């Protein structure tokens, strides 16, 4: 139970603590700050075994601040800096930085630092997932479909670039805002996706990550100059998906296919929130991938039953989505929809055009789609073989069980 509490606090407060301490100590010390925050949670794990403090958040923040000062003191080149921190006037306003509006301000600054043009796109996303959402290198690698050692190198390069380019903990200039917002939305989108369909070994859904992504998007939408059609569309998309979280697994923690989900469990207030956001998204003179993805999600929640789903309009949206941003994932989704429409030849041609290695840790979805195709064709042996490949290519225990159940059912039917 104690570990769950600390993990919850880590997910919800890591980014806040890093942002506040960075605003206080400066971006030049970002790695030291991250180490201090990590050390703080390790210390909490040890010290909270017998008794949890009355105010865990305040305890974490105080210990992280003191740990940062200790680490800076240990660096010979930082002795003068430490003296200024501990004795100068800068020590006075730090308590003000923990006011709600200042925490939000610090986090928004960190989001835009992560998306600074001096950092390469891959470095931006890795740094943001680490510093804002507290992802481990393993989790970032899973979210970005790449190797852990590659992520470690990206984070190192990002920190070096921040120092070398003297990047300041500030908001972007007006003429840079739109390009930076594009990267910000990508980071939020990746964070949500890792929560909604986790690559974690034991958990299919990580509601804390979904909630963090929605919170960050909402934080941006509070500021009028950060509001765009794409931002509203992204918010709508995440809310549509979040409305279905409760129905994705059953009481036995088994995956429930959307075909079988109890639609009465879909959260109507969240759906209405999403609809309102999507309406606002259409009031701007722009169209993005988030607009079409949100429109697809809306079609799913509009259907009173799986059989009522308008697959033709969903396929149309996927075609438009692919026109804006071609990807193997979009092709995979188009293949899935064509299978639903019994357009098997079209599905086969699309599947053959997909480069499986481009799907990274989601390759099992590709083999699962082939299994569905062969099942529809009546070729059970080939379908079972594809399910076996899908199972071999997923690390998630729930996904393995789900795929095995489908494969076993196929083997028992005539």
Q: Please, what's the b/e burial string for 325-360 (b: 16 or more CB within 10 A of its CB; e: otherwise)?
A: eeebbbbbbbbbbbbbeebeebbbebbeebebeebb
Split at pLDDT 50, 70, 90, the class of 95 is: low
pLDDT value at residue 327: 92
Hey, what are 64's tokens? 């992280």
Q: Point out the least confidently predicted range of 22-26, 71-75, 152-156, 274-278.
A: 71-75
Split at pLDDT 50, 70, 90, the class of 98 is: low
Going 82 to 83 to 84 to 90, the CA torsion angle's sign is: positive
Q: List pLDDT tens digits, range 156-186.
A: 999 999 999 999 888 888 888 988 999 899 8
How far is it, in rounded angstroms, from Cα 244 to Cα 400?
A: 21
Stretch 112-130: mean pLDDT, rounded?
88
Residue 201 has pLDDT above 60, yes or no: no
Q: Which of 93, 106, 95 is nearest to 171 (CA)?
A: 106
Q: How distant, in Å, are the alpha carbons of 12, 136, 318 from that of 132?
A: 10, 11, 31
What is the number of helices (H) and of strands (E) in the chain? Answer: 19, 0
Let me know the angle formed at the C-alpha of 305 by 304 and 306, rounded to the nearest 5 degrees. 135
Cβ atoms of residues 169 and 113 within 8 Å: yes
229 against 93, higher pLDDT = 229
pLDDT value at residue 49: 77
pLDDT value at residue 92: 36
73 against 183, higher pLDDT = 183
pLDDT value at residue 152: 94
Q: Which of helix, strand or coil describes residue 155? A: helix
pLDDT value at residue 97: 61
Residue 246 has pLDDT above 50, yes or no: yes
Cβ atoms of residues 347 and 314 within 8 Å: no
HSE-up of 391 (CA within 13 Å, CB side)?
15
Split at pLDDT 50, 70, 90, the class of 82 is: very low
pLDDT value at residue 414: 55
Stretch 114-136: mean pLDDT, rounded?
86
10 against 365, higher pLDDT = 365
pLDDT value at residue 93: 55
Stretch 370-398: mean pLDDT, rounded?
93
pLDDT value at residue 85: 45
In 222-288, alpha helices (H): 229-242, 268-281
Q: Which of 314, 353, 312, 316 is nearest to 332 (CA)?
A: 353
Hey, what are 122's tokens? 């891959």
Q: How distant, in Å, are the alpha carbons of 192, 200, 242 from that of 207?
A: 9, 13, 9
In 29-136, alpha helices (H): 30-47, 56-74, 79-87, 100-114, 121-131
Cβ atoms of residues 275 and 282 within 8 Å: no
Residue 13 has pLDDT above 50, yes or no: yes
How far is it, in rounded angstroms, from Cα 152 to Cα 185?
A: 22
Most confident of 71-75, 120-124, 389-393: 389-393
Stretch 339-349: mean pLDDT, rounded?
97
pLDDT value at residue 48: 81
Let me know the angle formed at the C-alpha of 14 by 13 and 18, rounded to the nearest 5 degrees. 115
Q: How distant, in Å, are the alpha carbons of 131, 302, 346, 411 from that of 235?
A: 21, 18, 32, 42
Percentage of residues of the chain with pLDDT beyond 70: 87
Residue 90 has pLDDT above 50, yes or no: no
In 224-362, alpha helices (H): 229-242, 268-281, 289-302, 311-324, 328-340, 344-353
How far is it, in rounded angstroms, from Cα 390 to Cα 368?
A: 6
Quote the pTM value: 0.81
72 against 241, higher pLDDT = 241
Cβ atoms of residues 85 and 75 within 8 Å: no
pLDDT value at residue 204: 59
Average pLDDT, the chain: 85
59 against 242, higher pLDDT = 242
Most confident of 27-41, 90-104, 310-324: 310-324
Q: List pLDDT tens digits, range 304-324.
A: 999 999 999 999 999 999 999
Percentage of residues of the chain with pLDDT beyond 90: 46
Cβ atoms of residues 301 and 271 within 8 Å: yes
């Amino acid at each position: 139970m104690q570990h769950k509490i600390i993990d919850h606090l880590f997910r919800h407060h890591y980014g806040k603590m890093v942002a506040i301490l960075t605003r206080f100590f400066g971006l030049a010390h970002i790695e030291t700050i991250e180490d201090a925050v990590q050390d703080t949670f390790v210390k909490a794990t040890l010290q909270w075994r017998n008794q949890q403090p009355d105010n865990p958040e305040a305890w974490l923040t105080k210990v992280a601040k003191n740990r940062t000062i200790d680490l800076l003191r240990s660096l010979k080149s930082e002795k003068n800096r430490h003296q200024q921190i501990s004795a100068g006037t800068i020590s006075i306003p730090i308590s003000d930085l923990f006011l709600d509006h200042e925490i939000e301000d610090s986090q928004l600054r960190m989001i835009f630092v992560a998306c600074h043009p001096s950092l390469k796109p891959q470095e931006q996303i890795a740094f943001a997932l680490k510093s804002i959402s507290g992802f481990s290198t393993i989790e970032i690698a899973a979210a970005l479909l790449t190797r852990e050692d590659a992520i470690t190198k990206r984070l190192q390069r990002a920190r070096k670039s921040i120092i070398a380019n003297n990047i300041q903990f500030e908001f972007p200039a007006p003429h840079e805002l739109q390009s930076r917002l594009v990267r910000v939305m990508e980071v939020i989108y990746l964070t949500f996706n890792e929560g909604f369909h986790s690559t974690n070994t034991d958990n299919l859904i990580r509601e804390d990550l979904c909630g963090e992504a929605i919170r960050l998007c909402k934080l941006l939408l509070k500021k009028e100059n950060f509001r765009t059609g794409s931002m509203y569309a992204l918010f709508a998309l995440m809310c549509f998906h979040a409305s279905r979280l409760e129905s994705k697994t059953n009481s036995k923690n088994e995956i429930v296919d959307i075909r079988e989900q109890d639609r009465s469990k879909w959260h109507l207030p969240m759906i209405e929130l999403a609809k309102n956001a999507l309406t606002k998204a259409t009031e701007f003179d722009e169209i993005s991938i988030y607009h079409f993805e949100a429109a697809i999600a809306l079609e799913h929640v509009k259907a009173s039953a799986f059989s009522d789903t308008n697959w033709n309009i969903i396929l149309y949206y996927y075609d438009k989505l692919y026109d804006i941003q071609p990807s193997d994932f979009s092709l995979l989704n188009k293949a899935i929809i064509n299978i639903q429409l019994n357009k098997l030849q079209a599905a086969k041609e699309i599947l053959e055009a997909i480069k499986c290695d481009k799907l990274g840790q989601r390759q099992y979805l590709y083999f699962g789609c082939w299994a569905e195709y062969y099942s529809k064709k009546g070729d059970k042996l080939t379908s079972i073989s594809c399910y076996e490949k899908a199972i071999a290519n997923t690390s998630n225990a729930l996904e393995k069980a789900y795929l095995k159940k489908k494969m076993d059912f196929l083997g028992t039917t005539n």
